[in-house]
C-alpha cells in the first residue's frame, strides 16, 4: 500500500504499510469466511514492546502504533 | 527373465477322450437330525447380531519425509503507485499524495476511522487489560500429578554414518542453542568416511545445524565458556584440545600441540573460573589432568598425574573418564576413573603428592558420571556400572545412598539445577530415569524409554526443565519434564538437608564401628602371634563355632545401630 501521510520515517512506514495491508486482507478474509455477514472492523496486535492498531476501510487503512500503558 | 518348461506328449498317447453324460441325482448318504443332541445346547433368545453395511476400508500409515523449511525475508519496496507516477520522483509522489488528501472520500473515511481508532486508543489508555490482576492466587497447591516428561524435539545426526553423541553443552545464557560433540567411541571402529564434524544446533531449526565445527579429529567432549558465550572448548579423540570462537566460523581458532597433549581421547574438558575467563582443564584415560590457558595452547600450564600411590608415576596412573568442577569451590575438583575410583584433588596444594586429597572407591566399573549437588556441594553423585551412588565428602569408605542394581549399566547422570533431591540418570537400554530421593528411594520417580539404542550422554538446561539426551546413533532427544519435578517444593531444602545428614551420620557410625572391629582384630592377632606356639590347634569345629558366634554378635550390634538410626527417620 502507498503511505499517504505518516509521522514515522519513510522506510519504517513502507514496511508497516506493506505488511499490515496484507495481514488486514488476510484477517478480513478469515472473518468473512467464518461468517459471510461479518466484516472486520478493527485489528489490534499487541506485542511486548507496543500495540499496533489497524482500522481498515474499503480503500484506506489507518495504522496507529502505541506504547502500552504499563 | 522367464523360466519356461515345456511338456510335450503325443496326442495319441493321451488315452481315450472322456465322454461325459448326464444322469439323475442319487442320494448317497441321508443323516436324519437327532433331537437328543439338542440337550447339549441352550436356546438363546434374544440373539445379538451386528449388521453393518459400510464399504470396507483399510488402514495404511504413511510417514512423509520431513519438510525442509527455510526462512526468507522480503524486502518491501514501495509499490502500488498508479502507472503514470514514477515512484522515485519525489515531486510526483508529493503531488499524488496531495491530490489524494483532497479527495472527499478520503476525508470522510479518515474521519470515520479516526473516531474508531480514538475509541480504542482511549480504551488502552484507560485500562491495561493485560496486567496481573490476582497476584496472590499464584500459590496453587501442586496436586499430586504423576511426573511425566514430553519429548519436544529430536535432533538427528545428518551424516550417513551415525556417530555417538558423546557430550552436550547448552549455550550459557539463551539456552536456545545446544552444542553436541559427535565421535565414535568404539575402539578402532572409525569408518573411513566418518565425518569429524560436531554441530551447534538451534532449537528453532532442528533440521540443519546452525554451525558446523570442524576439528581435526572427532570431538569427545565439548563445553561452552560460561563467561563468554561465543567460545567453545573441545577435547578430541586424539588427545588434543581445540577451541572455537563462533563468531569466526567453524574452523578451530587454535589447537594444542601433539607433544604436550593427552595420549588418549580427552573425556573431560571443563572451563575454570578465572579473571581472564580463558583457563580450562582436561582429563583423559592416559592418567593425566592438564591445565591450559586458551591463549597459549601450545603447552599446558600445569599437569597432574592421577597416581593414587602419590608417587606421580604415569605407569600407576588411573585413567580418567569424567571430570567435575564446581565454580563455588575453585581449587578443588574431582576426577572419576576407569577403575571405579573417584579422586578428589586440590589444585592449590604445595607439592604434587599433596594434590590428591582423597579417594572414594565403590564402583565396579568406570565412573561415567560425576556431579556435585548444586545446593549441597559436599554431596556428590557418581554414576557407573549398574548403580548410581550418592556420596558425602566426609565419608570416604562408602557412599551414603545408592540405587539398586539395574539390569543395564548406567551411562551418565546429573543433578537437577532447581531441586536438590532430584537427579537424572541414563541407561544403556535407552531409558532415562528421574530419581526423587525425597519421594521414593527404591525406584526412579519417572522412567522413560527414550530410544532403542543406548543413551550416552545427558545435559540439563539451567532452568531445570529441559533435558537433552544423546544416544549412540547420534540422536539428541530433548525432553521437557513436568513441573512437579522442576519446581522447588516447600520445605524441600530442609528435608533434603536432614536426609543427607542422617545418612551421613549412619555411615559415620558404621565406619567407626568397622574401625573398632578392625582394631580389635589386629590386637587379637598380635596377641595370638605371641602365643602361637603354645596354643593348641583348634579343631575345625571350634573355629566354626567361634566364627558363628562372632558373626551373630556383629549382626546384633548392627541391628541395634540400625534401630537407633531408624528411630531418627522422620
Q: What is the pLDDT of residues B321-334, one digit of tens each?
A: 888 877 777 778 88
pLDDT digits (tens, 9 = 90+) for B432-476: 888 887 777 778 888 888 888 888 888 888 777 888 888 888 888
% of chain B at pLDDT higher than 90:
0
Q: Are B113 and A57 within 8 A, CB to CB?
A: yes
Distance from CA of B85 to the nearest CA of A (A): 12
Question: Could you say which of A14, A58, A60 has the minimum Cβ distance to residue B78?
Answer: A14
Name the closest residue on chain A to residue B102, using Cα atoms.
A4
Round to whole Å and give the CA distance between B425 and B408: 12
User: Angle at the Cα of B547 (from B543 to B549), degrees rounded to 5?
Assistant: 120
- Cβ contacts of B97 on chain A, cutoff 8 Å: 4-5
Question: Could you say which of B76, B113, B120 has the minimum Cβ distance to residue A44?
Answer: B120
Distance from CA of A9 to the nearest CA of B (A): 14
Distance spanning both ends of chain A, measured CA to CA: 32
Q: Answer whether residue B398 shows pLDDT above 80.
A: no
Distance from CA of B84 to the nearest CA of A (A): 15
Name the closest residue on chain B to residue A5, using Cα atoms.
B97
pLDDT at B570: 46
Report, as an integer, the average pLDDT of A24-36.
Answer: 89
* Cell 541407561, located at residue: B427
Q: How many CB atoms lie within 10 A of CB B277?
A: 15
Q: How many CB atoms lie within 10 A of CB B242?
A: 26
Beta-bridge partner residues of B305: B288
pLDDT at B384: 79
Q: Answer whether residue B143 shows pLDDT above 70.
A: no
* CB contact set of B297 (below 8 Å; sequence gap of 6+): B241, B243, B254, B255, B256, B257
Q: Answer whether residue B230 shows pLDDT above 70.
A: yes
Q: Answer whether residue B53 shows pLDDT above 50.
A: yes
Phi, psi of B436 (to 5 degrees): -125, 105
Residues B540, B430 contacting (CB under 8 angstroms): no
Q: Answer whether residue B487 shows pLDDT above 80.
A: no
A65–B contact, CB cutoff 8 A = no
A9–B contact, CB cutoff 8 A = no
Question: Could you say which of A4, A14, A42 has the minimum Cβ distance to residue B97?
Answer: A4
Please tell me the least confidently modeled range out of A55-59, B64-68, B81-85, B386-390: B81-85
Q: Answer whether residue B264 shows pLDDT above 80.
A: yes
Q: Hey, what's the cell of A5?
A: 501521510
**Taking all residues of chain A, what is their mean pLDDT, rounded to a whole number?**
84
**Residue bearing the bigger pLDDT, B261 or B135:** B261
pLDDT at B190: 61
Q: Are B97 and A62 within 8 A, CB to CB?
A: no
* Cell 575402539, located at residue: B187
pLDDT digits (tens, 9 = 90+) for B81-90: 666 666 667 7
Report, as an integer, the average pLDDT of B129-158.
Answer: 69
In the DSSP assignment, the letter for residue B296 is B
Q: Answer whether residue B164 shows pLDDT above 70.
A: yes
* Ramachandran sector of residue B57 (left: φ over 0; alpha: ψ -120 to 50; beta: rest): beta
* Ramachandran sector of residue B548 (left: φ over 0; alpha: ψ -120 to 50; beta: rest): alpha
Question: Could you say which of B116, B121, B131 has the minimum Cβ distance to residue A66?
Answer: B121
Q: Are B116 and A14 within 8 A, CB to CB?
A: no
- Topology adopted by domain A10-66: Beta-Lactamase (3.30.450)
Element (H, E) at B123: helix B104-126
User: Angle at the Cα of B382 (from B381 to B386), degrees rounded to 5?
Assistant: 125
Report, as an integer, the average pLDDT of A17-42.
Answer: 88
The half-sphere exposure of B522 on its side-chain side, counting CA atoms within 13 A, is 6
Q: Are B113 and A46 within 8 A, CB to CB?
A: no
User: Angle at the Cα of B338 (from B387 to B453), degrees rounded to 5?
Assistant: 55
Name the closest residue on chain B to residue A50, using Cα atoms.
B124
Q: Are B78 and A59 within 8 A, CB to CB?
A: no
Distance from CA of B203 to the nearest CA of A (A): 22
- Residue B184: closest CA among B220, B211, B152, B150: B220
Beta-bridge partner residues of A43: A54
Question: Could you say which of B76, B113, B125 has the minimum Cβ distance to residue A62?
Answer: B113
- Cβ contacts of B125 on chain A, cutoff 8 Å: 69
Interface probe for A, chosen from B117, B119, B125 (most Cβ of A below 10 Å), is: B117
- Cβ contacts of A60 on chain B, cutoff 8 Å: 106, 109-110, 113
Report, as an integer, the average pLDDT of B199-216.
Answer: 82
Q: Does the predicted model carry a pTM greater than 0.80? A: no
* CB contact set of B564 (below 8 Å; sequence gap of 6+): none
Please tell me the least confidently modeled range out of B232-246, B289-303, B309-323, B382-396: B309-323
Q: Hey, what's the cell of B145?
A: 500429578
* CB contact set of B465 (below 8 Å; sequence gap of 6+): B480, B481, B483, B486
Q: Which of B12-26, B66-80, B90-104 has the highest mean pLDDT?
A: B12-26
pLDDT digits (tens, 9 = 90+) for B510-552: 888 888 888 888 888 887 765 544 444 556 777 888 888 888 8
User: Angle at the Cα of B236 (from B230 to B239), degrees rounded to 5?
Assistant: 130
Q: Answer whether residue B174 shows pLDDT above 80.
A: no
Q: Hey, what's the cell of B234?
A: 573441545
Round to whole Å and give the CA distance between A17 and A37: 27
Domains, chain B, in order of start with CATH, read: 149-508 (2.130.10.10)
* CB contact set of B256 (below 8 Å; sequence gap of 6+): B240, B241, B242, B292, B297, B298, B299, B300
How are beta strands B341-346 and B356-361 bridged, if at all? antiparallel
Q: Which of A52-61, B143-152, B172-181 has the highest mean pLDDT?
A: A52-61
Round to whole Å and give the CA distance between B210 and B175: 14
**Taking all residues of chain B, what is their mean pLDDT, rounded to a whole number?**
79
- For residue B488, what pLDDT band results from cuts at 50, 70 and 90? confident
- Cβ contacts of B76 on chain A, cutoff 8 Å: 14-15, 18-19
**Cα B544–chain centre separation:** 51
Q: Which of A13-17, B139-143, B187-191 has the highest mean pLDDT?
A: A13-17
Distance from CA of B78 to the nearest CA of A (A): 6
Q: Hey, what's the cell of B289?
A: 589432568
Name the closest residue on chain B to residue A48, using Cα atoms.
B130
What is the DSSP code string of B381-410?
EEEETTEEEEEETT--SS-SEEPPP-SS-E
Q: Answer whether residue B138 shows pLDDT above 60.
A: no
Q: How many CB atoms lie within 10 A of CB B421?
A: 23
Number of A–B residue contacts, CB under 8 Å: 58
The domain limits of chain A are 10-66
Name the closest residue on chain A to residue B111, using Cα atoms.
A62
Residues B290, B274 contacting (CB under 8 angstroms): no
A45–B contact, CB cutoff 8 A = no
Round to whole Å and give the CA distance between B150 and B478: 8
pLDDT at B534: 45
Amino acid at each position: 500500500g502507498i503511505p499517504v501521510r505518516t509521522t514515522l520515517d519513510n522506510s519504517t512506514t513502507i514496511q508497516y504499510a506493506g505488511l499490515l495491508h496484507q495481514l488486514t486482507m488476510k484477517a478480513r478474509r478469515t472473518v468473512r469466511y467464518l461468517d459471510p455477514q461479518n466484516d472486520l472492523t478493527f485489528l489490534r496486535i499487541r506485542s511486548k514492546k507496543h500495540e499496533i492498531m489497524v482500522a481498515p476501510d474499503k480503500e484506506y487503512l489507518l495504522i496507529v502504533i502505541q506504547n502500552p500503558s504499563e | 527373465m522367464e523360466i519356461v518348461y515345456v511338456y510335450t506328449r503325443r496326442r495319441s498317447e493321451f488315452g481315450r477322450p472322456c465322454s461325459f453324460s448326464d444322469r439323475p441325482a442319487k442320494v448317497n448318504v441321508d443323516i436324519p437330525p437327532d433331537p437328543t443332541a439338542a440337550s447339549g445346547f441352550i436356546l438363546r433368545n434374544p440373539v445379538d447380531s451386528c449388521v453393518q453395511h459400510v464399504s470396507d476400508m483399510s488402514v495404511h500409515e504413511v510417514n512423509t519425509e520431513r519438510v525442509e523449511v527455510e526462512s526468507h525475508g522480503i524486502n518491501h519496496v514501495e509499490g502500488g503507485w498508479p502507472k503514470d507516477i514514477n515512484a522515485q520522483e519525489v515531486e510526483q509522489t508529493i503531488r499524488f499524495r496531495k491530490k489524494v488528501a483532497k479527495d472527499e472520500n478520503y476525508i470522510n473515511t479518515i474521519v470515520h476511522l479516526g473516531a474508531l481508532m480514538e475509541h480504542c486508543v482511549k480504551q488502552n489508555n484507560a485500562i491495561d487489560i493485560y496486567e496481573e490482576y490476582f497476584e496472590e492466587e499464584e500459590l496453587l497447591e501442586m496436586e499430586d500429578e504423576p511426573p511425566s516428561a514430553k519429548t519436544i524435539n529430536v535432533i538427528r545426526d545428518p551424516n550417513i554414518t551415525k556417530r555417538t553423541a558423546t557430550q552436550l553443552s547448552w549455550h550459557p545464557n539463551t539456552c536456545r542453542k545446544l552444542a553436541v560433540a559427535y565421535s565414535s567411541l568404539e575402539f578402532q571402529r572409525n569408518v573411513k568416511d566418518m565425518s569429524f564434524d560436531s554441530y551447534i544446533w538451534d532449537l528453532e531449526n532442528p533440521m540443519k545445524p546452525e554451525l558446523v565445527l570442524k576439528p581435526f579429529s572427532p570431538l569427545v567432549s565439548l563445553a561452552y565458556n560460561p563467561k563468554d558465550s561465543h567460545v567453545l572448548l573441545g577435547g578430541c579423540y586424539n588427545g588434543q584440545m581445540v577451541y572455537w570462537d563462533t563468531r569466526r566460523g567453524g574452523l578451530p581458532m587454535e589447537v594444542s600441540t601433539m607433544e604436550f597433549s593427552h595420549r588418549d581421547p580427552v573425556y573431560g574438558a571443563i572451563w575454570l573460573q578465572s579473571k581472564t575467563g580463558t583457563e580450562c582443564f582436561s582429563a583423559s584415560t592416559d592418567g593425566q589432568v592438564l591445565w591450559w590457558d586458551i591463549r597459549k595452547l601450545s603447552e599446558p600450564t600445569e599437569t597432574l598425574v592421577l597416581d593414587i600411590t602419590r608417587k606421580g608415576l604415569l605407569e600407576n596412573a588411573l585413567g580418567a573418564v569424567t571430570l567435575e568442577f564446581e565454580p563455588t569451590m575453585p581449587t578443588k575438583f574431582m576426577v572419576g576413573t576407569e577403575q571405579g575410583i573417584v579422586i578428589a584433588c586440590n589444585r592449590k596444594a604445595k607439592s604434587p603428592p599433596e594434590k590428591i586429597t582423597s579417594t572414594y572407591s565403590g564402583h565396579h566399573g568406570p565412573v561415567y558420571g560425576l556431579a556435585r549437588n548444586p545446593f549441597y556441594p559436599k554431596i556428590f553423585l557418581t554414576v557407573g556400572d549398574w548403580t548410581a551412588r550418592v556420596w558425602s565428602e566426609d565419608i570416604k569408605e562408602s557412599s551414603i545412598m545408592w540405587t539398586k542394581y539395574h539390569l543395564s549399566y548406567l551411562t551418565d547422570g546429573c543433578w537437577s539445577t532447581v531441586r536438590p533431591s532430584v537427579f537424572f540418570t541414563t541407561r544403556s537400554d535407552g531409558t532415562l530415569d528421574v530419581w526423587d530421593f525425597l519421594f521414593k528411594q527404591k525406584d526412579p520417580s519417572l522412567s522413560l524409554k527414550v530410544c532403542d539404542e543406548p543413551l550416552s550422554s545427558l545435559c540439563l538446561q539451567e532452568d531445570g526443565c529441559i533435558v537433552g539426551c544423546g544416544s549412540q546413533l547420534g540422536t539428541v532427544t530433548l525432553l521437557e519434564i513436568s513441573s512437579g519435578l522442576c519446581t522447588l517444593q516447600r520445605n524441600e531444602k530442609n528435608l533434603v538437608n536432614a536426609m543427607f545428614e542422617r545418612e551421613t551420620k549412619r555411615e559415620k557410625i558404621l565406619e567407626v564401628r568397622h574401625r573398632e572391629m578392625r582394631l580389635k582384630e589386629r590386637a587379637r592377632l598380635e596377641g595370638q602371634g605371641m602365643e602361637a606356639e603354645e596354643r593348641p590347634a583348634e579343631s575345625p569345629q571350634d573355629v566354626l563355632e567361634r566364627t558363628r558366634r562372632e558373626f551373630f554378635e556383629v549382626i546384633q550390634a548392627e541391628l541395634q545401630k540400625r534401630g537407633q538410626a531408624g528411630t531418627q527417620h522422620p
